[in-house]
Amino acid sequence: MTKFLAILIDTLLRTFTVLLPRWKRLTVRARLYDRLQPFENIKVEDIYLNLFIPDRTCVYWAKEGPNSEPMTNTWIKSFEEGEIFVDIGANIGLYSLLAAAYGASRVYSFEPNPFSYSVLTRNIISNEFGNVITPFCIAMNENSSVVTFKLGGLHAGGIKNEIVNEGPHPANLSISAAAFSVDEFFRIQKISCVNHLKIDVDGLELKILHGATNMLSDKALKSVLIEDNSQKEDGNSEIVSFLSQFGFTESNAFESDGLINRIFTRN
């Protein structure tokens, strides 16, 4: 039904503007696009947020996102006011916005997908968090380099975006992107204190942790939430083992979309 209505409206628009000169016709479409840009107010726990919804994938974030990971919501709500949050794999920024709304003094949001990053910045502006959230359109990896970044699609809010090292991949869905290790990036930016870290990427979690040993060693870092793709057939997790070296123990775990999300706190 929604697809039919969209096609019908598009057909009517083309019909009404067919006799206009080319550039006036284009201007009408551009003005209409500007007027129809969809924003939606959502409620997450006791927080109201305004999300930019430019495509169907982003509809998911408005409709299902607020309740898709209640443990993540609870974790962010537990932050003390004035703390600093790093969101690696921020997507369109739901959890960055939530942290800012709950009183984080600074949020650093990393999203290398340019389509999702565009929506992330719109969401920051529409919620008036520009003085709290600093977005970066870069990837995080074990080492700093320029990488080939494969996109899951040409839309915002999607998943299955990943750094491609070798093997065939569709060139029309790949871009070159700057990638940094966490420690080098934060050294360059002269950011010395982080209290909470979230890593939600597609398969690079352990490599990102390997590039974040200085941050993990800093006692200011209180907790880490990470999507775990490292679990072996015997049930052991490389991420659990690695973080234990820095004094972190698993305090909670929950499943989301078939993957395990783990919350770690410092002993």
pLDDT tens profile 172-183: 677 788 899 999
Confidence of residue 10 (pLDDT cuts 50, 70, 90): confident
Tens digit of pLDDT for each residue in 99-132? 999 999 999 999 998 999 999 999 999 999 999 9
In the predicted model, is pLDDT for residue 9 greater than 80?
A: yes
Higher per-residue pLDDT: 196 or 65 = 196
pLDDT in tens, 131-165: 999 999 999 999 998 887 777 777 787 766 556 66
Kindly report the CATH number that applies to the domain delimited by 69-266.
3.40.50.150
What's the pLDDT score for residue 17?
Answer: 87
Question: So what's the pLDDT on residue 5?
Answer: 85
Pinpoint the alpha helices (H) of the chain.
2-17, 22-36, 56-63, 65-68, 70-77, 94-101, 114-126, 182-188, 205-210, 213-217, 238-244
d(CA 18, CA 38): 25
- pLDDT tens, position by position, 26-81: 898 888 888 888 899 999 989 999 999 998 888 988 999 999 899 999 999 999 99
Torsion angle (degrees, nearest 10) of CA 68, 71, 76, 79: 170
Q: What is the arrangement of strands in the sheet containing 162-164, beginning at the earlier edge strand? A: 139-140, 174-180, 145-150, 162-164
- Asked if residue 211 has pLDDT above 90, the reply is yes
Q: What is the pLDDT of residue 32?
A: 82
pLDDT tens per residue across span 229-252: 766 555 578 999 999 999 999 998
Query: pLDDT value at position 231?
Result: 65
- pLDDT band at residue 228 under the 50/70/90 scheme: confident
The structure's pTM equals 0.89
Residue 233: the pLDDT is 53
Confidence check: pLDDT of 166 > 70: no
Q: What is the pLDDT of residue 76?
A: 97
User: What is the band of 202 on the pLDDT scale with cuts at 50, 70, 90?
Assistant: confident
pLDDT of residue 20: 87
- In this model, does residue 23 exceed pLDDT 80? yes
pLDDT at 259 over 90: no
- Supply the pLDDT for residue 149: 75
Mean of per-residue pLDDT scores for the chain: 89
